[in-house]
Amino acid sequence: MNLSLVTRRQRKLKWTFLDPLEQVLMVLCGVTLFCFSTTTVLDIVTRLLGSPWLWLQEATSTFSIYGIFLGTAVATRRNDHLYLTATAENLTGTKRTAVEIMSRVVIACVALCMIVFGYENFLRGFSSFRMPSLTPIASLYVVIPISGVLILLFAIEQIINGFKHGFEHEETEEDAHIAAALAVAEAFGGYTQSDKKS
């Protein structure tokens, strides 16, 4: 069973060739969350033991920032973030199309700001250094324009596909949960029936 298909809220607004990119980003989000949690716990433990590892705070902040910006990109593609779903779902026809397009245009503008100003901060970051590793702070800022590019790509994807297929046939989050339950039931259906026979 392809779990990425189950978690889709808007299948018709997506290009399938970007699905692997979304899956990679989801894995990276999971890795950053795990590493953030681990380094936070290790930081607390080493401080309680009286011999703190000073580099842990640096690692924790790195995983936190990367997780936030990569997660924002993924959430944009899944319409779980930066998106006024409640307003759009109550509208139909031209009004809905206008709200959907306007929402994504705003998201695209924010993404452009992230690209331009994030890149400027990235370049300036080579003159500042993080302690205690003396790594340029640009290593933190690099994820901002990358996230902006991804968000812009996903917003453009949804605008183009929205014009082609319309916005009113979107799969809601409830539909996704129902589809997931049905897929799991179907996948394990053979075992359930054999158990009932025995």
pLDDT in tens, 52-83: 888 888 999 999 999 999 999 998 888 775 45
What is the pLDDT of the chain when averaged over all its residues? 79
193 has pLDDT over 60: no
Q: In the chain, what are the domain boundaries?
A: 13-171
Q: Quick check: 153 pLDDT over 90?
A: yes
**CA–CA gap between residue 100 and residue 9 (Å, rounded):** 14
pLDDT attached to residue 131: 80
Q: Which of 156, 124, 155, 161 is nearest to 141 (CA)?
A: 124
pLDDT of residue 86: 62
- Residue-level pLDDT at 184: 66
Q: Return the pLDDT at 3.
A: 42
pLDDT at 181: 67
Model confidence at 110: pLDDT above 80:
yes
Residue 173 has pLDDT above 60, yes or no: no
pLDDT band at 6 (very low <50, low <70, confident <90, very high): very low
Stretch 88-100: mean pLDDT: 73
- Name the band, by pLDDT with cuts 50, 70 and 90, for residue 137: confident
Which range, of 9-13, 69-73, 88-92, 117-121, averages the lowest pLDDT?
9-13
pLDDT at 8: 45
Q: Identify the pLDDT of residue 148.
A: 95
What percent of the chain stands above pLDDT 90? 36
pLDDT in tens, 29-59: 999 999 999 999 999 999 999 888 888 889 9
